Structure 1
């Protein structure tokens, strides 16, 4: 005769697996299986009708490491992330602090900050394309109106990537502001009153009280901003297509180009595996190191 406690334990285990099964099926179908297929594809050569694909091991990865364009794109993406992530987060925090203050037309201010987020990236890129167009663009009109020479913002290597960064910051800051604004509204007002009674300045209150309490939200935004710095390429198709001379090409555009323009699926798969490995390592660092310093 079976033990009732053992039967209850098995029944709970079955119920638990049944509850987890929808998420596990979705993850296996759309995350684990594609990732495994990508790793498998990266280990084979590029196949043609006359030469079928062959197992080559890590040769595709070596070919990537020997390609100067790969390192140019990797550096572009690192610079792009190093600029867009902290600037957009700092701007989002500043906007959230301002939008959370007691002031007239606060609702209009929040709407104005969030409006760029509601635009599709393609629409935002077309809007900024008008700003950047030499000769009659808004920025060019301002520059020439101040007596400076006309600048082809998207057509020269020195400014193309910075122009792409500006579009991303403008688009992302309003989205991150919503999370900061929601977190600010969970801070009890008693803390501000106590700090005021103790004689703390506004800056000291923000630095000593507000920022530590916003640390979990900051970590969440940092993770999302890091992912966005790799996955956002819509504006590249409209603004620069990775040019000039790969000056504004980012990693996901490089992967797309190899897969669908050059039909080199193994190279695209190998680059994808490297990106996933880098993101996985960065996520592990963020959650194992940074998460331990955060108080929830």
Structure 2
């Protein structure tokens, strides 16, 4: 085969490969990369209103964000929400995965019960819990009333509203994360547990010294998803509290929704989006490039 024929064949393979990638590339650019670039550009312009076109305002939208007390309230709420949901959902998911990985009676049913909240639509989940939290008539109120406890408006009180939404988020996400841990546990060599049992190691010692280090890659993956989920929750807030009372449950994405679709200040919403994306990207990069060094791969 001549050199020219080899080069021609290589060129045809390259063209064929790019043609195969073209549909996915078009979708990726159209619905991911271009919207991100357009949002960044819009954050430096004013919001067009009627016949008045958008004009360049520089960092004015970002200055508005710095001076916005509701934005900082949403940041504080989201940090508390993330600090509660991330460790709780991951810890509960790991506990459930270890339990249903054992040979217990009704294991298939228990796995299905744990995973069911994950497949339910988020709007449906929020409405179910709205019934639980309804003052005087809700299921939670019936239980507390039977115990002789006073009635309480769980979603209407600033002291408990964010905690009530946090509980819903943990209930929804723990089953999803459990699937990843369960899959990882089933890939571990059974001889490791047998050797530990022969050596007289306790279940806790075996988990802490053997299973947990081998589950670190899965934990890193779950942690990245948990962080992203903690900052993109909007469905539950919309149904349960609409950010109230007194912005006690306003999270960043819900505040973004209100600014962009309730007050129609799309330029300011674009600035909030840019900041949120940059922060989440920074957290993800830190997790992958810093925490990844502490992960033990097989």
TM-score by structure 1 length? 0.95
Secondary structure of 2:231's counterpart equals helix
1:134 aligned onto 2:138: no
Match of 2:222 in 1: 221
Shift of 1:8: 5.7
1:81 aligned onto 2:82: yes
Secondary structure of 2:54's counterpart equals coil
Shift of 1:247: 0.5
Question: Aligned partners of 1:51, 1:131: CA distance in 2, in Å?
Answer: 48
Match of 2:188 in 1: 187
Match of 1:207 in 2: 208
**Structure 2: tracts of 5 or more residues without a match:** none
Question: Aligned partners of 2:21, 2:230: CA distance in 1, in Å?
Answer: 31
**Structure 1: tracts of 5 or more residues without a match:** none
Question: Aligned partners of 1:50, 1:6: CA distance in 2, in Å?
Answer: 57
Question: Aligned partners of 2:221, 2:14: CA distance in 1, in Å?
Answer: 32
Matches for 1:1-296 after TM superposition, within 5 Å: 10-11=11-12, 13-49=14-50, 51-294=52-295, 295-296=297-298
Per-residue CA deviation, residues 144-203 of structure 1 (Å, 9 max, x unaligned), is: 322222111000111111100000101111111111111111111100011111221110
Question: Aligned partners of 1:196, 1:266: CA distance in 2, in Å?
Answer: 62
Secondary structure of 1:185's counterpart equals helix
Question: Aligned partners of 2:31, 2:51: CA distance in 1, in Å?
Answer: 32
Provide the alpha-carbon RMSD of the alignment. Answer: 1.7
Shift of 1:26: 1.9
Question: Aligned partners of 2:18, 2:82: CA distance in 1, in Å?
Answer: 39
Question: Aligned partners of 1:20, 1:292: CA distance in 2, in Å?
Answer: 33
Shift of 1:77: 1.1
Cα separation, partners in 2 of 1:60 and 1:151, compared to 1, 3 Å: same
Q: How many residues align?
A: 296
